[in-house]
Amino acid sequence: MAKKAQEQTTDIIPTIAETKDIKSMIYVVRGQQVMLDSDLAMLYQVETGAMNRAVKRNKKRFPEDFCIQLTEEEFLRCQNGISKDESTNERGGRRYMPYAFTEQGISMLSAILRSDVAINVSIGIMRAFVEMRKFLATNSLILNRIDDLEVKQLEYQKNTDERFDKVFQYIEDHAESEQKVFFDGQIYDAFSLITSIIQKAAKEIILIDGYVGIDTLNILAKKNSGVDVRIYTYASAPLTNRDIANFNAQYPSLMVKKTQVFHDRFIILDGKMAYHIGASIKDAGKKCFGISLLEDSGIITELLNRLKTV
């Protein structure tokens, strides 16, 4: 009868290890594949505390590459795999951080426990470790390929974004390349466009307009801070020295020169971008007029040279 009972027990032992998903109990901690003391104790059919005491009695057999004690952070990452047993306190929490055993440590465990269960279960565990290594090796190639694809995708996205930025910048820089015509009553639209043109200047605005008045200064007040303004207008323009002083008190700096040289109206931004305006900007939108960007840099240079003689 004793022999029969022993045979039955031996038959059951491998089943215990096989029916349990051992691979799900294998974690990667500090770059090593490990199993937790509570999971091993459950598989070996011993108490966790008793197993750990046996390890402590044989401390020399378990160097750091065989057995490690987890930190709190490592414990939290693996907590779902920890069983409750006699090592828990009355509230269900462990009194100490659990131990984790590497493949070599698990092999040493079966040696010190010296039970048929430990030996048979360890065989199943070793096989699980081998399968996990194969799985990780296979998937590492896939992950490396995915990483390469992600890097290429990021580079492609970066290059694409840069190309789009260039396109958008070109569109922004050339948005006024075609003449825009405003008809009677489009005062707001004309005001908005002229304001947006003025706000493109980073350093200087030159306005050539024979009929500059307070309304013109109100539009120029929309310029960016620190941008200087030079106005060339007729001697008969309704702009007084007091108007100029008041503007400079709040939106420096403004300089006005009187000249009869020019008939048409121009706005020159930072000495490199210029617009031809068909009407005095103070009257923008009151009558039909057009605005167009001057794309010929030679014309801009000639305008600036002409201004030097005024």
Strand ranges across the sheet with 228-233: 180-182, 289-294, 273-277, 265-269, 204-208, 228-233, 254-258
* Residue 79 and residue 191 in one domain: no
- Is residue 197 in some structural domain? yes
* Residue 13 and residue 121 in one domain: yes
- In 24-101, which ranges are continuous DSSP H helix? 37-44, 48-57, 72-78
* Residue 124 and residue 25 in one domain: yes
- Name the packing angle between helices 37-44 and 116-173 (round to 10°): 140
Within 10 angstroms of residue 24's Cβ, the number of other Cβ atoms is 11
pLDDT value of position 63: 92
Give me the residue label for tokens 């971008």: 273
**In which domain, by residue range, is 286 found?**
180-308
**pLDDT 10s per residue in the chain (310 long)?**
444 444 443 343 344 445 347 878 888 888 888 889 988 888 888 899 999 999 999 999 999 889 999 998 888 877 654 444 434 443 345 577 899 999 888 888 888 887 777 777 877 888 788 777 776 666 666 666 666 666 666 676 667 667 666 666 655 555 544 456 666 667 677 778 888 899 999 999 999 999 998 889 988 999 999 999 999 999 998 889 999 999 999 998 999 999 998 888 999 999 999 999 888 877 765 667 788 888 888 888 999 999 988 8
Is the full-model pTM beyond 0.75? Answer: no
pLDDT value of position 16: 45
* Residue 235 and residue 287 in one domain: yes
- Is residue 152 in some structural domain? no
The three-state secondary structure class of 276 is strand
pLDDT value of position 52: 92
- Is residue 147 in some structural domain? no
The number of domains in the chain is 2
* Residue 9 and residue 118 in one domain: yes
- Is residue 111 in some structural domain? yes
- Is residue 110 in some structural domain? yes
Cis peptide before 253 (omega within 30 of 0): yes
